[in-house]
Amino acid sequence: MKKTISFLGKLKGGSSKLFRIFWIIFQIRILIFAAPLLLSLAGGFFGWSSWQDAKFWKAEAERISLDSETRAKLIFYRNRLISKQALEAHKDGTIDYTTTSDYIPPEAPYAEVLIPKDPSGKIDVKVRKFGLTFRPGIGYIYAHDRLQPAIDLKLLYLYRWGVQPGIATRGPTLALSRHLDDMPRRMGVPWLRLDNLELQGGWQPVTWREITGGIKPEGYKWFGGVRVNF
């Protein structure tokens, strides 16, 4: 009888430890899935910025003088106005800035907007609308019948489009993405900010299980998802 009670006590203690281990693993998995969602919401609705880079470009802008035909110059970096200069201003010190419909990609190094003195003159927007970039991202994809958190690195951009390789929980990925920053205006809700939220679609050619054990998973290799561009 004593031996039976002792055995049950040991079994109960071992089960308790095993339960704690499983509970910790479960919490880690929840954290892995929750982190991209929270960052997607924060990054998509509120945007991200690099203040160190902004300070650098502001200093560069202050170093450059305006020519005689320019009324004002604005420097944008990652969708944020970081510097403004003017040759003329109102008596109260305010400046009238004309808006431009030119799209400024968040991946561009910076954008320079020159406003001419002549009100009928054309605004000159100097920005690199395509090229190389190295901007990390985080989000979700749905591939092989699973919702997977993923991280990636955008290497190419063209206007609102980008190309990025990445790694998801079940395997490597290659994706094509598009910014959603123009959608609120199209939907009639311009107050909604989706500065860095993107839709993405791509290909997960192989999973870790295929690499290590040769086991082919169910579902499609093609995927869709969302990501935040930092």
Contacts of 107 (CB under 8 A, 6+ apart): 131, 133, 135, 154, 157, 162, 229
In tens, the pLDDT along 81-131 reads 776 776 666 666 565 655 566 788 888 888 888 878 776 777 788 889 899
Average pLDDT, the chain: 76
Least confident of 1-10, 11-20, 175-184: 1-10
* Ramachandran class of 157: left when φ > 0, alpha when ψ lies in -120 to 50, beta otherwise: beta
In tens, the pLDDT along 130-189 reads 999 988 998 899 998 888 999 999 999 999 999 999 999 889 999 999 999 888 888 888
3-state SS, residue 133: strand
- CA distances (Å), origin 71, targets 85, 87, 88, 116, 185: 9, 5, 6, 5, 29
3-state helix, strand and coil shares in percent for the chain, rounded to the nearest 5: 30, 35, 35
- The pTM for the full model equals 0.67
8 Å CB contact between 96 and 83: no
Note the pLDDT of residue 230: 76
Q: Taking 60 as the threshold, does the pLDDT of residue 1 lie above it?
A: no
DSSP state at residue 21 = H
Q: Taking 70 as the threshold, does the pLDDT of residue 47 lie above it?
A: no
Contacts of 66 (CB under 8 A, 6+ apart): 72, 73, 85, 86, 87
- Per cent of the chain over pLDDT 90 is 22
